[in-house]
Chain A
Amino acid sequence: MVKIIYKESDGTEHPTDLEPGVSVMQGALNNGVPSILGECGGQLACGTCLVYVDPAWRDKTGEPEEMEEATLELHADNPHEGKRLSCQIKASDELDGLVVHLPDSQY
């Protein structure tokens, strides 16, 4: 199991254990973590699975690929750093302990 910690902006933490290979978006939906919507089911077609990767983890999660970048443009006005679409981050041993911050709104 891979531990992923979702943090709300008010500090509330949702620690969850995901099977390797499950996306951070799906993990949130399966475990009742608020604010991640995942309207397209994870195919980079909606942009409603936005998270901010904690600075300490950005090296490990890496940079978004081109399609994700083009979809993230939906959130161009959002000034947060570390924006990623969480359907594109898959739980793996490397990411055990990953901290992602939840946006107040996906729209």
Chain B
Amino acid sequence: MPLITEMNLPVLPVENPDFQRDPMPYVDAARQRHPWLARFEQGYIVHGYQAVKDLAFMDDKLVMGLGHVVDFYQVRGTPWARFMLEMLQSHTGPEHARIRASVAQAFTPRRANRVRPAMREVIDGLLDEWSGRDGFDFAEFASYFPIAVLCGVLGVPTTGIPRIRNAIETHMASLTLDHKYYPGFLEAFDLLWDYVDELVRDREASGERDEDALLDALIAARDAGKLSDLELRDMVLVLLIAGYDTSKNMLTLTMYRLLEHPEYWQRCAEDIDFCAKVIEEMLRHSSIATVFRSVVEDFDYQGHRFPRGAMVAFSMPLANRDPAAFPDPMSFDPFRESETRHLAFGRGEHICLGQFLARAQLEEGLHLITRRISNPVLAGDIAWRPFLGAWGLSTLPIRFDVAA
């Protein structure tokens, strides 16, 4: 059985700005040499749909590879490294299940639907504030939306958002494995930690309790001995981070895509069910997450031996554009009929906790934005984010008319 370390695999230059702009020419070429596996500087990248799907279910062989990220920067022993190695995603099996259970009830489809009116309020408020200008950077606008919704779910004030936005961005940038982000992300982490610690202390001191507030449910779980004090804080931070960078990137990419499809804009304004179709196809066509795994036990897959210690990335954006799974993958078609479902939210144990909340807020957001602004056009240069971690646009300047 050939070891992947000894195979002559194609290389994907994920750090190259051209790749970040449009990875497909590179991936199409790589696919000619190997249908689903390639190398990148730090390890292996799985880009075939079926392979990502199969491997993502192998939670006992492949665990979250954040140890590799920590070692890349050689910062074991820092509070940031402790968080990376101990938070929800880094656990597996019963420990993972225990920690995830502490929040799972707040993220069911029922709860996501119950939050819809609050989502509408947030986006309406933002549009009141922003749509008076005749143009803005949509990426910046979008960055205030999902995090405000999440603050609502947690039951904490949104006034802290400006303080933590940049710090979350900097922390996320660490996942792109680029030394230029060191030591900035360590400082950003200290700021985030202080913020979360303050949230918890303030809430405890206030003595207020609200049965819909997730922070209160977490405090109660801690008091009942189901979570430690540290795990409580780690969880709040995990949610703020996971809920910030993902939905905002998806919303920005959706806006970008619809600039090319004015025929869909009006329809989204009229019909929220159509918004759901657009969002689902966006999650397929322009996924954002490339996630890391570390092989903890040698295993074989499709005639390949994966050795213990290898770092493997699952790339959802690339897997969702695999022509073997989605015919004509680059065409954006909200009416695509298929039981083959994209991998935007992952599979297996770590499948996205926020997937129903994310879908609901993207649908509500798109619906209200298309109702309140019209004729959007690109008004400047766009810029792409690094590919690993959470891909997307960092800048999307637009101009538009305010709908009557």
A interface with B by C-beta (< 8 Å)? 37, 39-41, 43-48, 67, 69-71, 73-74, 105-107
| Nearest chain B CB to A88 CB, angstrom units | 13
Q: Which residues of the other chain, B, contact A43 by a CB distance below 8 angstroms?
A: 97, 100, 104, 349
**Known contacts A46-B351, A73-B113, A105-B339; A41 and B57 CB within 8 A of each other:** yes
- Of chain A, the residue at the smallest CB distance from B343 is A39
Residues of A within 8 A of B347 (CB): 39-41
Given the interface contacts A37-B341, A41-B59, does A70 sit within 8 Å of B108 by beta carbon? yes
Tell me, in angstroms, the Cα distance from A70 to B107 when the chains sit together. 9
When distances are taken between beta carbons in the complex, the residues of chain B under 8 Å from A69 are: 110
Q: Which 9 A-B pairs have the closest CB atoms?
A: A70-B108, A70-B110, A73-B110, A74-B109, A73-B109, A40-B351, A41-B348, A71-B108, A45-B351
- Answer whether residue B26 sits at the interface, using C-beta atoms and an 8 A cutoff: no
Q: What does the 1/0 interface line of B323-339 toward A look like (CB < 8 Å)?
A: 00000000000000001
Bound CA–CA A62/B15 (angstroms): 53
On chain B, the number of residues with a Cβ less than 8 Å from chain A's Cβ atoms is 20
Cβ distance A72 to chain B, nearest Cβ, rounded Å: 8
Contact indicator A44/B104 (Cβ below 8 Å) = yes
Asked if B115 lies at the interface with its beta carbon under 8 angstroms from chain A, I say no
Interface membership of B42, Cβ < 8 A: no
**In the complex with contacts A37-B341, A67-B105, A105-B339, A45-B353 CB distance below 8 A:** yes
Kindly report which residue of chain B lies nearest to residue A35, judged by CB atoms.
B339
How far, in whole Å, are A40 and B350 apart by their CA atoms in the complex? 8
Q: Across the interface, which residues of A come within 8 angstroms of B105, CB to CB? A: 67, 70
Interface check B356, CB cutoff 8 A: yes
Give the docked Cα–Cα distance between A45 and B350 (Å).
10
14 contacts between A and B (CB under 8 A): A37-B341, A41-B57, A41-B347, A41-B349, A43-B104, A67-B104, A67-B108, A69-B110, A70-B108, A70-B109, A70-B111, A71-B108, A106-B339, A107-B339
B217 shortest CB reach to chain A, Å: 13
Residues of the A chain whose Cβ atoms lie less than 8 Å from the Cβ of B356: 74
Extra pairs beyond A37-B341, A105-B339 (20, CB < 8 Å) = A39-B341, A39-B351, A40-B349, A40-B351, A41-B57, A41-B349, A43-B100, A44-B104, A45-B104, A45-B351, A48-B341, A67-B108, A69-B110, A70-B108, A71-B110, A73-B109, A73-B110, A106-B339, A107-B339, A107-B341
Contacting residues, chain B, for A39 (C-beta < 8 A): 341, 347, 351
Residues of B near A40 (CB, < 8 A) are 347-349, 351
